[in-house]
């Protein structure tokens, strides 16, 4: 495959590079200062923790239930439909 510079392109279709660019791969550095994204404040981190903590506890609770399924199946001897209800309804509680 040829480089785009080696292809013959009619002058009327050629893109003219601005004089400040040395090649088509050059990039300008990101401006520093007010254009940067602001960092998260303490209040935002606390809000994230308030949202994330119940999700982690819920996930741990369901993990423990899934690990206990074999023992529950031995003791209660549920049918497959009843076991499905146990697993599904526990998540709603």
pLDDT digits (tens, 9 = 90+) for 24-69: 555 666 666 566 778 999 999 999 999 999 999 999 999 999 999 9
Bigger pLDDT: 9 vs 76: 76
Looking up tokens 């009843």, which residue turns up? Answer: 82
Is 61:43 a contact under the CB 8 Å cutoff?
A: no
pTM of the model: 0.53
Residue whose C-alpha is closest to residue 18's, from 33, 32, 28: 28
Residues 6+ apart with CB under 8 A from 4: 24
Cα angle 78-83-67, degrees, rounded to a multiple of 5: 110
What is the Cβ-side half-sphere exposure of residue 77, based on CA atoms within 13 angstroms? 0
């Amino acid at each position: 495959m040829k480089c785009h510079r080696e292809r013959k392109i009619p002058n009327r279709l050629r893109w003219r590079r601005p004089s400040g660019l040395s090649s088509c791969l050059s990039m300008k550095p990101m401006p520093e200062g007010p254009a940067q994204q602001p960092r998260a404040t303490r209040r935002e981190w606390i809000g994230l923790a308030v949202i994330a903590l119940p999700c982690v506890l819920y996930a741990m609770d369901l993990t423990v239930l899934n690990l206990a399924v074999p023992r529950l199946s031995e003791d209660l001897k549920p049918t497959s439909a009843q076991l499905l209800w146990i697993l599904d309804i526990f998540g709603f509680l």
